[in-house]
């Protein structure tokens, strides 16, 4: 059994360096045959959204993300796993979340990434508040589709 | 031996409650989250209105997701919040 590095879990205000994170995943463990990455960003549109503010529960967030990463490592036999989630106020187009996995073959990395982002959206204590150009502030409502996506991995 | 528990509120709930944390004393131990909250709501009209209007609230005990039927002990950290919307 090849040694897998510990999952890398970060909650931070700063922008992450996607290139550096991908290099870290691809070089982290011998036997890595591929990496898979999902990056989520603040979606712009015609409705005048200016920015999102991400709030979280310090302490619980790190715990939930670390447990989630560990379960993905085991379930998909991953050789590497990185979860980075930003908090604070982020403008339209700004990266919010980085999910990256490494595995021997593509299927595990791709499935692991999908699992992680689906579970993270409804299981980690983050909340989004939207700010619009006209001054409105709106807390984002949870979507049933996100609960279904998370439950599809049960 | 303190009988206090700390309660945190997050996101829209924090704004509606007008506070982000408070210490409350536990009238009995052990007791369920639901029993604690019912008692607090009787003493606090703001909390009563806010909780009545928020049917999908989640609860965490000591930073782990829990249910309203789970048991609270002195010294526990409770948190209430709306469904999570990360990612």
Specify the pTM: 0.94
Residues of chain A with Cβ-Cβ distance to B87 below 8 Å are 40, 85, 96-97, 117, 120-121, 126
Mean pLDDT, residues A83-90: 98
Q: What CATH number has the domain spanning B4-81?
A: 3.10.20.30
Residue of chain A whose Cα is closest to the Cα of B81: A125
- Position A3 scores a pLDDT of 58
- For A9, other C-beta atoms within 10 Å of its C-beta total 20
- Position B52 scores a pLDDT of 96
CA–CA distance, A99 with A119 (Å, rounded to integer): 11
DSSP-assigned letter for residue A124: S
Mean pLDDT, residues A74-94: 98
B63 DSSP β-pair partners: none
Give residue A110's pLDDT band: very low, low, confident or very high (50, 70, 90).
Answer: very high
How many domains does chain A divide into?
1
- Position B30 scores a pLDDT of 86
Residue A136 has pLDDT above 80, yes or no: yes
| pLDDT tens column, A1-46 | 455 689 999 999 999 999 999 999 999 999 999 999 999 999 998 9
Residue B18: phi, psi to the nearest 5? Answer: 75, 15
* Contact criterion met (CB below 8 Å) for A149 and A123: no
* Contact criterion met (CB below 8 Å) for B8 and B78: yes
- Position A100 scores a pLDDT of 98
- Position A45 scores a pLDDT of 87
Taking the CA of residue A62 and the nearest CA in chain B, the distance in Å comes to: 10
- Position B2 scores a pLDDT of 56
CA–CA distance, A59 with A56 (Å, rounded to integer): 9
**CATH assignment at residue A124:** 3.90.1170.40
- For A47, other C-beta atoms within 10 Å of its C-beta total 10
Q: Answer yes or no: do A139 and B12 touch at CB < 8 A.
A: yes
Q: Per-domain residue ranges for chain B? A: 4-81
Q: Answer yes or no: do B8 and A57 touch at CB < 8 A.
A: yes
Mean pLDDT, residues B56-64: 97
| pLDDT tens column, B23-45 | 999 988 889 999 999 999 999 99
Q: Answer yes or no: do A60 and B79 touch at CB < 8 A.
A: yes
Taking the CA of residue B58 and the nearest CA in chain A, the distance in Å comes to: 10
Residue A3 is assigned to a structural domain of this protein: no
| pLDDT tens column, A50-71 | 999 999 999 999 999 999 999 9
Q: For chain B, what is the mean pLDDT?
A: 95
- Position B69 scores a pLDDT of 97
Residues of chain B with Cβ-Cβ distance to A122 below 8 Å are 83-84, 86
Q: For chain A, what is the mean pLDDT?
A: 96
Residue B13 has pLDDT above 70, yes or no: yes
Taking the CA of residue A2 and the nearest CA in chain B, the distance in Å comes to: 31
Residue A1 is assigned to a structural domain of this protein: no
Whether the CB of B85 is below 8 Å from some CB of chain A: the reply is yes
Residue A2 is assigned to a structural domain of this protein: no
Closest by Cα among A127, A124, A122 to A143: A122
Domain of A140? 8-151
Residue B5 has pLDDT above 70, yes or no: yes
- Position B29 scores a pLDDT of 85
Q: Answer yes or no: do B87 and A129 touch at CB < 8 A.
A: no
């Amino acid at each position: 059994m090849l040694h897998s590095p510990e999952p890398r879990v970060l909650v931070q205000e700063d922008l992450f360096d996607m290139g550096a994170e991908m290099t870290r995943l691809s070089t982290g463990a011998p036997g890595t045959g591929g990496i898979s990455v999902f990056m989520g960003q603040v979606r712009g549109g015609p409705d005048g959204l200016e920015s999102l503010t991400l709030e979280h529960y310090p302490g619980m967030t790190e715990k939930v993300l670390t447990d989630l990463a560990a379960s993905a490592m085991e379930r998909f036999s991953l050789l590497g796993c990185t979860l980075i989630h930003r908090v604070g106020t982020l403008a339209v187009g700004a990266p919010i979340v980085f999910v990256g996995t490494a595995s021997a073959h593509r299927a595990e990395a791709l499935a692991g990434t999908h699992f992680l982002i689906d579970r993270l959206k409804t299981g980690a204590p983050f909340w989004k508040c939207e700010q619009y150009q006209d001054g409105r502030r709106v807390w984002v409502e949870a979507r049933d589709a996100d609960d279904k996506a998370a439950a599809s991995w049960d | 031996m303190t009988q206090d528990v700390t309660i945190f509120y997050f996101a829209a709930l924090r704004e509606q409650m007008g506070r982000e944390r408070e210490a409350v004393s536990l009238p009995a131990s052990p007791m369920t989250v639901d029993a604690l909250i019912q008692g607090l709501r009787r003493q606090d009209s703001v909390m009563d209105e806010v909780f009545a209007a928020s049917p999908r609230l989640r609860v965490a005990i000591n930073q782990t997701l829990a249910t309203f039927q789970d048991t609270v002990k002195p010294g526990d950290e409770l948190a209430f919040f709306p469904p999570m919307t990360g990612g």
